[in-house]
Each structure stands twice: as structure tokens, then as C-alpha cells.
């Protein structure tokens, strides 16, 4: 297998959309077409039969993630037109043995998915002895969150087996090229192709990258830098979707439209317009932080105004969120600074010094702790727990990419209900 194989994973739930995307991906240089697990669960073996009928010369991969009844599941996939069937690598050995026997009987091949495999080298050697045809080094999103990559697994497994190795898990043109350069025979790409508004061009980009792989050694960004960059590239609505409609503050609005706010929270609990702790928080906050203030439900007295806002600008603080009132709005609007509030009044409180900085607070219905990520734009403000920030950022980016494809299909003349096949999923 000299030329690297590009396997396009159709991780969708609507068959018509999957077929159209597959056609565009093939035009862009996709080699194998994968009926993804969500597609198979949604459409059953009809997904495999349809893809085989439309692409008779292409290998169709059925990502069954077989966990039991290996003989039966391989049989139905093979009879439906699959050339390769995906089996989970952490199942009992008897299931893999039965899958291999069935594959040999029906003239198909077995690819074993290494999702959540710990000792990858030993498992790879054993599976090769069992007769599997391909190994798929697959890193899930939770493992990616802690910095694990399939390329690191590849380096370990490459010299341990002689069967072809596939690599999967969040690959783009750059990382796919790295995988090939390090020895991968097959790269499996899903989201960075199927969620693109221009599937053909996205596939071509990856095709060119893996056919002429170049490893670019760039200075590695810190995790916080990567999280910030992603949150700057997605919307608060994308993030809300990624969190299953959680994390959005209620009753809050921006003083200035069209300005984005991303940063880690410096929390402030104050009372009755007491502006001492909110102002002192400016000295504590660092560049790129967001000050989040709970005014204890008071909307008739403002703990914040223009002078505090100018101080934030001097310190390059990313923005301010106030569950309470703000004043000097005319001046703040001229500064075009990201400031979100629940009320506007001219009254200021007194700097008495009550309250706390960097304690856990409740702001506009959301619990906020020091270090949680705060993202604000014209649609509102969302709170992302610091422990899940990277995962949520990645999921929000997938939401954004998915919407780009839906937007393109609507541009071509479809409607949202047609694209999402709403009538099929309505409760009867």
C-alpha cells in the first residue's frame, strides 16, 4: 500500500446528506467511504447498501464498532456491500476471532478500532496474529482533551506489526500529513471534510497534504492559548449547543454591539452598589481575564462606570460582566469595550469594601468560579467550567463546522427542515 488511503467518515444521521457529501468527497480525492456509526444506527444497513450502489468501485467501510455477535454482524455488513467492517479492539478475543472467521468466509476485511486501548503495542501484535487486516489507531475527544494524539500511538505501534495502520481522531490536513510521514497507511477524516461548506475543496486539501507530506515544526501553543483561540473563533451559540444548552447567563445584554469577549473569570461578590471590590479586582485581574460581578440582585445602584472601564482597558482585561447595573453608558459606548450588564442606572454606590474577590458566585443564574472561561458576544454570555474548557471548545468548533455545511445546503436551495429531515424524527 504505497499511496496513502484517504477514508472519509460519514458521521451523519441523514442518508441523503451523507450521499451528497460522499459524492463531493470522492470528487476531491477520497478513496474509501465509511458509513459512520451514527449513520448506521440511524439508517441501518440501508446506508451501506446505498453507498455501495452509488460507489460500486469504492471500498465501503462499515463502522459497526462490533462488540459482540461478531459472525452475525460481519455477515449482515458483508451481504449489504461492505468491504471492511470495524470491530472494537477492547472486546473479548472470541468476538474478534469470530469476526475474522466470518470475514474470511464472506471475502471481506476486518479493521480493529483502538479506541480506549491502553497497551496498544501488545494488543496490536496479538490482533495481527489473530488475522485482522487493519489496525485503526483512534483517539477520542476525551483523550484529545488531555493531549493524547493518534500520532503518538502510531510511533509506538509502527514497528510492532506489518499489517496496514489507519489513524483517526480529529485529523486535519496538517495532522493527516504528519500521520503519513510517520508511517500511517490510511488516514480517516470525518468532521474536517463532512462539515465543510466546500467538501470537495476540503478533501482536495487533505489529499494534497497526504500525497506530499511535510511536517511543520511550529512552536507549540499552551493549552490556554489554544482554548482562547478556539473560543475566539466560535460563537456563544456554538458553545451553548456544545454544552447541550447549558451555561448561558439570563437577562444580560451587551452595552456595545459587535465586540467579542473571551477570558478566564475573576469573580467579584459585592453588595448594594459597593464598588470597592469590583474596582480592586481590576488590580488583581491579568491581561485577557474577564471580571464577573454579582451585585447581589441590586439593579438600582451601579458598582461600575466609565472610569473603571478605562482602567480595564489600560490593563488589557478582556471584558466585564455585571449581574446588576452600570452607569456612564454614553462614555462606555464610545470606548467600544465588551461590557455586559442586566441594567442601566445613573446612581453609584459607596466604596465600603464589603464582599470578596475570586470566590464562587452566582451571576445571572450561572455558577461562576475563578478560572472558568467566560465568552460573550451579541447573542449573550456563556460560562464554561475550567475543567472542560478544551473539550467544550473542540465540540463548539465541530458545531460551527457542521453549521457551515448546513448553511451551504440551504444556500443551494434546501430548507432547514429538509436538511435536518425533521419530519422523520418528529414524535408521533
Distance between CA atoms of 337 and 64, rounded to whole angstroms?
51
Question: How many CA atoms, within 13 angstroms, populate the side-chain half-sphere of residue 228?
Answer: 16
Task: Give the integer Cα–Cα distance in Å for 85 and 264.
Answer: 44
For the chain, first and last CA: distance in Å? 50
Give the separation between CA 185 and CA 179, rounded to whole angstroms.
9
Domains for the chain: give ranges and CATH numbers.
Answer: 5-218 (3.20.20.70), 226-390 (3.50.30.40)
- Angle CA 16–18–23, to nearest 5: 100
Q: Are 357 and 369 in contact (CB under 8 A)?
A: no
Angle CA 22–27–29, to nearest 5: 95
328: left (phi > 0), else alpha (psi -120 to 50), else beta?
A: left
Q: What is the pTM of this model?
A: 0.83
Dist CA 403 CA 397 (whole Å): 10
> Kindly report the CA angle at 240 between 234 and 242, in degrees rounded to 5?
75
d(CA 115, CA 88): 7
pLDDT in tens, the chain (428 residues): 478 999 999 999 999 999 999 999 999 999 999 999 999 999 999 999 999 999 999 999 999 999 999 999 999 999 999 999 999 999 999 999 999 999 999 999 999 999 888 888 999 999 999 999 999 999 876 666 666 677 778 888 888 999 999 999 888 999 999 999 989 999 999 989 999 989 999 999 999 999 988 765 555 678 899 999 999 999 999 999 999 999 999 999 999 999 999 999 999 999 988 999 999 999 999 999 999 999 988 999 999 999 999 999 999 999 999 999 999 999 999 999 999 999 999 999 999 999 999 999 999 999 999 999 999 999 999 999 999 999 899 889 989 988 988 998 899 998 998 888 777 777 76
Amino acid at each position: 500500500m504505497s499511496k496513502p488511503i484517504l477514508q472519509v467518515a460519514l458521521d451523519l444521521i441523514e442518508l441523503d446528506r451523507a450521499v451528497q457529501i460522499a459524492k463531493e468527497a470522492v470528487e476531491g480525492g477520497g478513496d474509501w467511504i465509511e458509513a459512520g456509526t451514527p449513520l448506521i444506527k440511524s439508517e441501518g444497513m440501508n446506508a451501506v447498501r446505498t453507498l455501495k450502489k452509488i460507489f460500486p468501485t469504492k471500498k465501503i467501510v462499515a463502522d459497526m464498532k462490533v462488540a459482540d455477535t461478531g459472525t452475525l454482524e460481519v455477515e449482515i455488513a458483508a451481504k449489504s456491500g461492505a468491504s471492511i467492517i470495524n470491530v472494537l479492539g477492547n472486546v473479548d478475543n472470541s468476538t474478534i476471532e469470530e469476526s475474522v472467521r466470518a470475514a474470511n468466509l464472506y471475502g471481506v476485511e476486518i479493521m480493529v478500532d483502538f479506541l480506549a486501548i491502553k497497551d496498544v503495542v501488545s494488543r496490536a501484535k496479538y490482533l495481527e496474529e489473530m488475522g485482522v487486516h487493519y489496525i485503526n489507531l483512534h483517539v477520542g475527544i476525551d483523550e484529545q482533551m488531555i493531549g493524547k494524539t493518534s500520532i503518538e500511538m502510531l510511533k509506538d505501534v509502527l514497528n510492532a506489526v506489518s499489517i496496514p495502520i489507519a489513524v483517526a481522531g480529529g485529523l486535519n490536513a496538517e495532522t493527516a500529513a504528519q500521520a503519513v510521514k510517520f508511517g500511517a497507511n490510511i488516514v480517516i477524516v470525518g468532521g474536517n471534510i463532512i462539515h465543510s461548506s466546500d467538501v470537495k475543496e476540503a478533501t482536495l486539501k487533505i489529499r494534497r497534504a497526504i500525497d506530499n507530506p511535510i511536517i511543520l515544526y511550529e512552536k507549540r501553543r499552551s493549552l490556554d492559548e489554544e482554548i482562547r483561540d478556539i473560543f475566539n473563533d466560535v460563537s456563544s451559540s456554538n458553545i451553548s449547543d456544545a454544552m447541550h444548552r447549558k451555561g448561558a447567563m439570563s437577562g444580560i445584554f451587551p452595552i456595545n454591539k459587535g465586540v467579542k469577549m473571551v477570558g478566564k473569570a475573576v469573580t467579584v461578590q459585592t453588595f448594594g452598589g459597593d464598588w470597592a471590590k469590583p474596582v480592586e479586582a481590576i488590580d488583581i485581574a491579568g491581561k485577557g481575564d474577564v471580571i464577573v460581578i454579582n451585585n447581589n440582585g441590586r439593579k438600582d445602584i451601579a458598582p461600575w462606570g466609565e472610569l473603571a472601564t478605562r482602567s480595564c482597558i489600560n490593563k488589557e482585561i478582556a471584558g466585564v460582566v455585571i449581574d446588576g447595573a452600570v452607569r456612564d453608558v454614553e462614555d462606555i459606548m464610545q470606548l467600544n469595550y465588551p461590557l455586559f450588564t442586566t441594567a442601566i442606572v445613573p446612581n453609584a454606590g459607596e466604596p465600603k469594601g464589603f464582599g470578596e474577590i475570586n470566590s464562587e458566585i452566582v451571576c445571572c443564574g450561572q455558577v461562576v468560579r475563578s478560572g472558568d472561561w467566560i465568552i460573550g458576544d451579541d447573542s449573550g454570555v456563556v460560562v464554561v467550567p475550567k475543567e472542560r474548557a478544551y473539550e467544550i471548545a473542540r465540540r463548539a468548533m465541530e458545531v460551527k463546522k457542521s453549521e457551515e455545511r448546513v448553511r451551504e445546503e440551504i444556500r443551494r436551495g434546501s430548507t432547514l427542515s429538509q436538511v435536518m429531515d425533521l419530519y422523520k424524527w418528529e414524535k408521533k
